[in-house]
Amino acid sequence: MRLATYHIGVHVQISLCYSRVVRRTFRLTTRLRQRSRRLDSVNAISAYVLTGQWLPAMQRAQDVWLKDPQSAAGAQEVGRVFKAADLSPTRGNAFVAYVTGGGEVNPLKEFLQQHAADKKVVG
């Protein structure tokens, strides 16, 4: 009886360790997938910025920001598009201040209106 109890205890311990490993592996792969998705979005934003396509770049940056509003990465991407489009950090810094609660006006609406009008004129 003692041997059987010991055998069951070892089996339970091994299965608990295995389930921990499986959970930890799942968490790591999930994090890696999320990170690779974010990198894909960042690479797409960079490609749009390099080609001067400000509206699609801002839409991708907004997607990154809206997926996780608590993360600073999304707001930084939006600010990066502002800075590249304006060749000035003014609106980018105003947006980061708006997101953190220090700014009064959201410069994103003005940016979208301005570049939507530019798209209509060009297209």
Q: Domain coordinates of the chain in residue numbers?
A: 37-122
Q: What is the DSSP letter of 59?
A: H
Encoding tokens for residue 59? 């839409």
Report pTM. Answer: 0.62
- Find out whether 5 and 27 touch, Cβ atoms under 8 Å: no
Looking at residue 6, its pLDDT comes to 44
d(CA 66, CA 35): 15
- Please provide residue 53's backbone torsions phi and psi, each rounded to the nearest 5 degrees: -95, 85
Burial of residue 25 (number of CB atoms within 10 Å: 0-12, 13-18, 19+): exposed
Can you give the pLDDT of all 123 residues of the chain as single tens digits? 444 444 444 444 445 455 555 566 556 666 656 665 655 777 888 888 888 889 988 999 999 888 888 878 888 889 999 999 999 999 988 888 888 888 888 898 889 888 887 665 544
